[in-house]
Chain A
Amino acid sequence: MNKIVERLQNGIIKENPTFVLMLGMCPTLAVTTSAMNGLGMGLSTTVVLVMSNLLISLLRNIIPDRVRVPAFIVIVASFVTIVQFLVQGFIPSLYASLGIYIPLIVVNCIILGRAESYASKNPVVPSIFDGLGMGLGFTLGLTLIGIVREILGAGQIFGAQVLPLADAGKAGYTPITIFVLAPGAFFVLAALVALMNVIRAKADAKGKTIAPATGCFAGDCESCSMGSCSGKSSVKADSVAKEEE
């Protein structure tokens, strides 16, 4: 029981994929034009994450080590296809607004990352809750970013007008439309990264440590590429990094 609570806490707070680990940024930027889209994308990812963690954990002693990455990818891709059809069938409006970002859950670094670092090494029940915690953490992150962008860009939350708009002769809020467009995503995320830098610096001063950001934002492309699992390509990535220095 403790393990379950610990896993959920870990995913939602301590190692929140969006705010702390900064993983899965492509969908984060692309779908957070509104809180509803963020929530939908987060929950779809959660379902895939829980199911793939469950299956990978069950098969962890059967899948040979050398072919584990392709095996993981096939498992994840199968669940993504199932989720895609479920969303298309039951919530067509969400499917229309998320578009190709639903099948792209396959290449979301969080899912392969959890499979590789947790589910393939741990028993079934903790793995399920690890997936659930991470998924809910991701959902929380996407929804919060979606809410910020929706308020700034349209004065709405979940489609409900919270800031009265300025009409002719009436004082009110003038939406900053750029925030629901592509550039706004970059600006909101830049503010978020800067905010996390401040929080990290404060925590460091107090002697607490926050899990480091991984993935592209730390200049660490390898952690999300599935090539990372074969030794050969990680050597290569090192040489890219060296070349850059």
Chain B
Amino acid sequence: MKELILILVASAIVNNVVLSQFLGLCPFLGVSKKVETAAGMGGAVIFVLTISCFVTSVIYKLILAPTGFAYLQTIVFILVIAALVQFVEMFLKKQMPALYQSLGVYLPLITTNCAVLGIALKNISNNYNIIQSVVNGLGTAIGFTIAIVIMAGIREKIEFNDIPKPFRGSAIVLVTAGLMAMAFFGFSGVI
């Protein structure tokens, strides 16, 4: 139990997926203009990443590793993740229209989010078992949500400032991300 909490905190805050591992930068920069959309994106990522970590980990532990096909992990994982996102989308549309309304538009954007594949591969290289993988996926996604919501809050305020012309647009967002990364660096002593 203690170990699982450590994994959760480490993946959510200490090794923040966006700010220290640079995974999932696309949505972090693209969908962070407003706090509401950022939170929606975060919700969708939490949903997909937790499920995909479970599925990829089960496939690896029960199919790929015992049969000696572990070297196929990259190919298998990317196809499984793409299919999974499609499936989650269809399932939500049919069974939970309300949730689909709020998360649906973000789901296709997640398919190639490198964070999803990256965390699946990290689970394998860290030798996590299935439960640890799921917790790691959940923690990572929470970390992503924290980062993107803070970023959206800052960006809403940046709009009102007088920014030097060359830095308008993505440059100032990157400077902000750099400052946030420095702040998150402070957590590195926690674990």
Contacts and interface: CB of A to CB of B under 8 A. Distances in A.
Contacts of A233: 108-109, 111
B118 A85 contact: no
A10 interface: no
Contacts of B61: none
A73 B174 contact: no
Give the interface size class of chain B: 35 or more
Contacts of B153: none
A48 B134 CA distance: 31
Given A29-B25, A220-B30, A236-B108, A81 B171 contact: no
A184 B177 CA distance: 10
Given A73-B79, A81-B75, A103 B182 contact: no
A152 interface: no
B146 to A, nearest CB: 16
Contacts, number: 161
Interface of A: 25-27, 29-30, 70, 73-74, 77-78, 80-81, 84-85, 99-100, 103-104, 106-107, 109, 178, 181-187, 189-191, 193-195, 197-198, 201, 215-222, 224-227, 232-233, 236-237, 239-240, 243-244
Interface of B: 19-27, 29-31, 33-34, 37, 71-75, 78-79, 82, 104-106, 108-109, 111-114, 117-118, 121-122, 125, 164-172, 174-175, 177-179, 181-182, 185
Given A30-B21, A178-B182, 14 more contacts: A25-B26, A26-B24, A77-B79, A183-B181, A183-B182, A185-B178, A186-B178, A186-B181, A197-B166, A215-B26, A217-B170, A224-B112, A237-B105, A240-B105
